[in-house]
A and B are shown apart, each in its own frame.
Chain A
Amino acid sequence: MAMKAAVLRHVRLPASAAASRTLGLASPASGRWGGVFGSVFRSLSSHGDDHLSKDEVVDRVLSVIKSFPKVDPSSVTLDVHFQKDLGLDSLDNVEIVMALEEEFKLEIPDLEADKIDSTRLAIEYIYNHPMAG
């Protein structure tokens, strides 16, 4: 009985409006990856500390983009736009997002993938993704 109470205490979800709103956010079509969702999810996750650090995400994202053959590595910064700054086209954009999927072992739905068109967005998306590995 005490065990059950102890377990329930850990599992019980916060009754705040913010939490119930974000936890109801299951559909990918919502597209709102705001920090609230990310942080609530992460604090409830049983994975604990094995989520990637921001630095690691940044490093790996930038190295994926730098190793793309058509890209000049020296022009890759934290907030560079693939098509406007790096001179890539939409096909390259798709290729880069696929390369990021492979690097972080993710499956990014088309709707979200179409929005990722700069290093900043890529870093943000991957950092907030609970399954990034």
Chain B
Amino acid sequence: MASSAAAPSRSEVLSLFRSLLRTARDFSDYNIREYVRRRTIDAFRENKSLEKVSSIVAAYSEGRNQLQVAKRQSVVYSMYAPSIKSVMEVKGSSGSN
């Protein structure tokens, strides 16, 4: 029984992109936050010119799964957030003092 899913619309894809970037902001850990951002942007760019409907549908559902993973992880990580911020987040600190 083959179910042919319809390709997601442009606005659905952009909405998924935005949701992933928003979820990235929920991470208190700088490294994970930046990774989610980078990976999201890279993946969407890579798949930007997909033509086959089945590939588009597969990429879109993969994106949605990843969004769920990221959302769950942001909750888990927030339970064990370290109290010390990464050095990249310390504003105004300039090298040596």
Contacts and interface: CB of A to CB of B under 8 A. Distances in A.
B10 interface: yes
B10 A110 contact: no
Contacts of A89: 48
Main secondary structure of the interface of B (DSSP, over half): helix
Contacts of B54: none
Interface residues of A, number: 10
B11 A114 contact: yes
Interface stretch (A11-19, A35-43, A90-98, A124-132): A90-98
Interface of A: 89-91, 94-95, 98, 102, 110, 113-114
A102 B26 CA distance: 12
Interface of B: 10-11, 14-15, 17-18, 21-22, 25, 41, 44-45, 48
Main secondary structure of the interface of A (DSSP, over half): helix
Contact of A110 (B18, B25, B48): B18
A95 B21 contact: yes
Sorted nearest first, the 3 A-B pairs with minimum C-beta distance are A94-B18, A98-B21, A94-B17
Given A110-B15, A110-B18, A113-B18, A95 B41 contact: yes
A98 B33 CA distance: 14
B21 A90 contact: no
